[in-house]
Amino acid sequence: MNHDARKKPARTQRLLVLGAVILALLAVNVAVPRRRERPQLSARTLKDLAELATVEYSVTKIVSYKDVAWYGDRKILFETAATVKAGIDLNELTDHDIQLQDGKAVTVTLPRPKILLFNMKPEHMREIFNESGILRSDFSNEEKDGLLSQGEKDIRAKVARMDILERAARNARILVESWLKKMGFATVRVAFKGGRT
């Protein structure tokens, strides 16, 4: 009985000490600021271009992610769309690439086509499905941007493997030929640097 009576204040004392520690730690938690580095912003700049876009591909992709864990799953599904433009960089055109023969015939050697622009507009994206288990946090905005960035990377890689550059070259040839004929050249030959495209 006496032993129990001595133990009770000791337990209460320990609880009081723990309470004091909690209060002190709470104060530390409030005082420690969240680590945030200020964003580094570069200057706004205008830059000259001389690019001729000759083809535009509109593509779609479903971005899907499943996060399976023993304490619950999270699943999300987006519908995304992108436009990709390809063509030639006229800055790469030099004096040697245009050869005139008696003012009526011309041979133009164009630079090889490349992808000039990739655009994933927010208005063309849609969240189709989003579900998180009760023990799981919801997908944050940052996570969603990260998943869409992966989708963007995948679209870029897959579009580059499509026939976009061949089409861009074909259209550039047709366009330049028609312009030069409108300018009065009777014979027009269009080639590409580094051989056939």
CA geometry: angle 82, 84, 88, nearest 5 deg: 170
CB of 2 to other proteins, least distance (A): 16
Q: For residues 131 and 146, which CB has a smaller minimum distance to other proteins in the complex?
A: 146
Closest to other proteins by CB, 2 vs 140, is 140
CA atoms within 13 A on the CB side of 154: 14
Q: How far is the CB of 110 from other proteins (least distance, A)?
A: 11
The smaller minimum CB distance to other proteins, of residues 39 and 194, is found at: 39
- In angstroms, what is the C-alpha Rg of the chain? 32
CB 106 within 8 A of CB 181: no
Task: State the Cα–Cα distance between residues 111 and 129, nearest whole angstrom.
Answer: 44
Min dist. Cβ of residue 6 to other proteins (A): 13
Query: Shortest distance, CB of residue 196 to other proteins, whole angstroms?
Result: 20
What CA–CA distances, in Å, run from 5 to 1, 8, 13, 18, 34?
Answer: 6, 6, 13, 21, 46
Q: Which is nearer to other proteins, 2 or 48 (CB)?
A: 48
